[in-house]
Amino acid sequence: MAPKASILCTIALVFIFLPLTGSIQFKFPAIFNFGDSNSDTGELVGAGIASLEPPYGRSYFGTPAGRYCDGRLIIDFLMDAMDLPFLNAYLDSIGTPSFRKGCNFAAAGSTIEPPTAHAVSPFSFRVQVAHFVRFKARVLRLLAKGKKLDKYLPAEDYFRNGLYMFDIGQNDLAGAFYSKTFDQVLALIPLILTEFETGIKTLYDQGARNFWVHNTGPLGCLAQNIAKFGTDPSSLDELRCVSKHNQAAKAFNLQLHALCKKLQGQYTDSNFTYVDIYTIKSDLIANYSKFGFEQPVMVCCGYGGPPLNYDSRIGCGKTKVLNGTTMTAKACDDSSEYVNWDGIHYSEAANQYVSSQILTGKYSDPPFSDKMPFLLDLKF
């Protein structure tokens, strides 16, 4: 069964077994997003730090659209589900984008902890929060001058009533494995989450009240990490993923979940929703054929052939001379058959599947299956 058909069947079954209640609303006037490449809609590219070339964007936008994917990201599908337009990146100043319905501060390569000298992105979580604070202050000043820019900027009450989304932490863990032992990576987690908590407090002080937190996925199942750390078969788990990376992700998620519970108790006038992305993605990789995929780990856009089709020396769409021969990392014919797009990021088809599972509400704490009517807005 193709991924799209599988998703539609999933939604149909949910509607059969869950009663719909028209009075339930799952609407937010605006979305403010923070994260890394899993939800970057053009920040790193807009900052001039990185560039994306075809075949990025080919499955939906027809051209690179600032996203590290062949098409839409999870956040794009979630925005559709809430009947909101795709989020513009904070640093995207081309074409006078509208920020009326929110703003995206996520940047590929970002970490929660302050970046190192060799970091891909300088936009750590602290910097993203600082960007938001400046964005809000600037918006309020502009709104005070009159209604000329109202259609481009969020209204003042949108900052309190909007949804604040987070998908960050993956790079903190994955990057740490290059210089630290497994035990050292685990010891780093409380420090990472202390930094995250500080950012949440700042946003709360700025008026944020609705928080939506994604945990991190199975890092050990990314081709990039398997190629680097999975050469010894004994290092792999039952899914043929790097065991230590997945264990670290689980430890991080356990503590992140506890932090969300703590914050909910501390900020009683707020709503914290913790979303278990790890379980959704792990289930997809373990049962890929059930959901219409043919390759759970092998990369669609890469170089090297089976089993991973990944070479860290040649990024997707790039051409380089290796051992005297010119090589190009090309895309597969049908990316909807692949879970992984470029060795690090999921394909649009996989993102669509993950989104459909998020929207069931059963992978969230607290669950929101009683708000299923808003699924009617989901677009394919």
183 C-beta neighbours (distance < 10 Å), count: 8
3-state secondary structure of 297: strand
Mean local confidence (pLDDT), 212-231? 98
Q: Degrees (nearest 5) of the Cα angle 122, 125, 96? A: 75
342 is annotated as an active-site residue:
yes
- Encoding tokens for residue 326? 């010119």
Distance of CA 32 to the CA centre of its chain: 13
pTM of the predicted protein model: 0.91
pLDDT per residue as tens digits for the range 248-292? 999 999 999 999 999 999 999 999 999 999 999 999 999 999 999
Active-site residue, 118 included = no
Angstrom distance (rounded) from CA 88 to CA 337: 29
The domain segmentation of the chain, as residue ranges, is 3-287+344-377
Query: What is the C-alpha separation between 301 and 224, in angstroms, rounded?
Result: 12
Locate 302 and state its tokens. Answer: 């890469």
Domain range 3-287+344-377, CATH class:
alpha beta
Assess contact for 205 and 266: CB atoms under 8 A.
Answer: no
Round to whole Å and give the CA distance between 54 and 61.
Answer: 11
List, as one string, the DSSP characters of 337-359. GEEESSSSSB-HHHHHHHHHHHT
* Residue of 6, 37, 336, 356 marked active site: 37
pLDDT tens for residues 152-188?
999 999 999 999 999 999 999 999 999 999 999 999 9
Given the residues 6, 214, 345, 356, the one annotated as active site: 345
Residue 1 has pLDDT above 70, yes or no: no
β-pairing, 271-275 vs 364-365, is antiparallel
Tokens found for residue 205: 């002080």
Contact 53, 330 (CB under 8 A): no
Written as six digits, the tokens of 170 are 């993956």
Does residue 323 or residue 105 have the better pLDDT? 105
Diameter of the chain measured on Cα atoms: 66
Residue 95 pLDDT greater than 70, yes or no = no
Q: Which pair of structure tokens corresponds to residue 174?
A: 């994955």
> Out of 76, 342, 347, 355, which one is annotated catalytic?
342
Give the separation between CA 249 and CA 322, rounded to whole angstroms: 34
Instruction: For residue 307, say if its preceding peptide bond is cis, omega within 30 degrees of 0.
Output: yes
Please, which residues bridge with residue 242 across strands?
A: 236
Do the beta carbons of residue 216 and residue 145 sit within 8 Å? no
Residue 96 pLDDT class (50, 70, 90 cuts): low
> Is 80 tagged catalytic?
no
